[in-house]
């Protein structure tokens, strides 16, 4: 039986996708260089190769040894702030890595790839909710490299026997309900894990940047998607390509959005902790509202998020962080 190759399968979203694939009866091969991924996040039933997608000989060896049916691509640097300070790292890892990957895929006649993209490809939205047809004008290097990767898939697919699906989304959050894997970033920049550091006695308070936005309570509105729902979308995209679907781009979101204050208040209810919040100045470049429309993914891929309510999302995250205050590190 052939396998699905998950690049970055030891990372946050990648590891959850591997768990869901294996639960669905798929054979899975993982490639990860463990720069930001964790060996402990690798599913015991997956075949694991430690290596870098920029290494052509390494990628060729994986495609030679394994019978790969399709690729799901999470292997990328993904910190917006870091991308602005070290853009060449992002071009090397994200763009050069993908170019080497595609060379190897073409050489070995691998014709299906699902790409974990980002809604940062849009930049400042012209309208809400964001549609797949909206203008793409990234405001940071991370979003720019992801958009460039999408263009690379597009032109490669026209020249070679290759079809791709690109999935654009904002804030992945939550953790696997089994409590075995979850979010572990260093440094942590995502709102929900930062909030949960307060009841975990790792932070005295949570900062709220700006309270005068044009939203219902003055704080920024963001789209949050449970990581297992994201995993399912990547799997459905692979099924779509297996069934002969043409190259396509889909947004993933809950279509509603929650304010920063709503997220904090829900975390208070879930954890039973007061979670003090401190209001601070706006951060430069923070749009007031970012919500993506998922209508296209729902109608074409049949995507139906199961963990759409904020309480469930935070509950799974809290279960993970409470049991793993230092992520995958045991000390």
Query: Catalytic positions, please?
Result: 142
Angle, alpha carbons 119-125-129 (nearest 5°): 80
Half-sphere exposure of 305 (CA within 13 A, CB side): 26
The secondary structure element, H or E, covering residue 19 is helix 12-23
Tell how many helices (H) and how many strands (E) occur in the chain: 11, 14
d(CA 112, CA 3): 12
Q: Report CA Rg, the chain.
A: 19
Count of C-beta atoms within a 10 Å radius of residue 303: 21
Neighbouring C-beta atoms of residue 180, cutoff 10 Å: 15
Residue 315: closest CA among 187, 168, 204, 199: 199
Among 17, 27, 38, smallest CA distance to 186 is for: 38
- The residue among 230, 106, 93 whose CA lies nearest residue 164 is 106
């Amino acid at each position: 039986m052939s396998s699905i190759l998950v690049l970055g399968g030891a990372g946050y979203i990648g590891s959850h996708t591997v768990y869901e694939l294996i639960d669905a009866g798929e054979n899975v091969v993982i490639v990860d260089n463990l720069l930001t991924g964790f060996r402990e996040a690798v599913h015991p039933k997956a075949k694991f190769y430690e290596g870098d997608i920029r290494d052509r000989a390494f990628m060729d060896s994986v495609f030679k040894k394994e019978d790969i049916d399709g690729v799901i691509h999470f292997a990328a640097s993904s910190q917006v702030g870091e991308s602005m300070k070290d853009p060449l790292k992002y071009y090397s890892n994200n763009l050069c890595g993908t170019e080497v990957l595609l060379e190897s895929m073409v050489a070995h006649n691998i014709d299906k790839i699902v790409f974990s993209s980002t809604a940062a490809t849009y930049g400042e939205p012209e309208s809400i909710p964001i549609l797949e047809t909206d203008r793409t004008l990234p405001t940071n290097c991370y979003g720019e490299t992801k958009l460039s990767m999408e263009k690379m898939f597009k032109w490669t697919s026209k020249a070679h026997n290759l079809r791709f699906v690109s999935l654009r989304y904002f804030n992945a959050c939550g953790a696997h309900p089994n409590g075995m894997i979850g979010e572990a970033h260093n440094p942590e920049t995502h709102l929900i894990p930062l909030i949960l550091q307060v009841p975990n006695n790792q932070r005295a308070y949570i900062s709220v940047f700006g309270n005068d936005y044009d939203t219902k309570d003055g704080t920024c509105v963001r789209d949050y998607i449970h990581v297992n729902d994201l995993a399912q979308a990547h799997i459905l995209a692979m099924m779509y390509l297996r069934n002969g679907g043409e190259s396509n781009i889909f947004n993933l979101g809950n279509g509603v959005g929650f304010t920063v204050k709503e997220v904090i208040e829900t975390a208070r209810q879930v954890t039973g902790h007061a979670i003090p919040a401190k209001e601070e100045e706006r951060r430069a470049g923070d749009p007031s509202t970012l919500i993506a429309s998922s209508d296209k993914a729902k109608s074409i891929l049949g995507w139906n998020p199961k963990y759409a309510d904020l309480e469930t999302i935070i509950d799974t995250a809290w279960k993970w962080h409470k049991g793993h205050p230092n992520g995958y590190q045991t000390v």
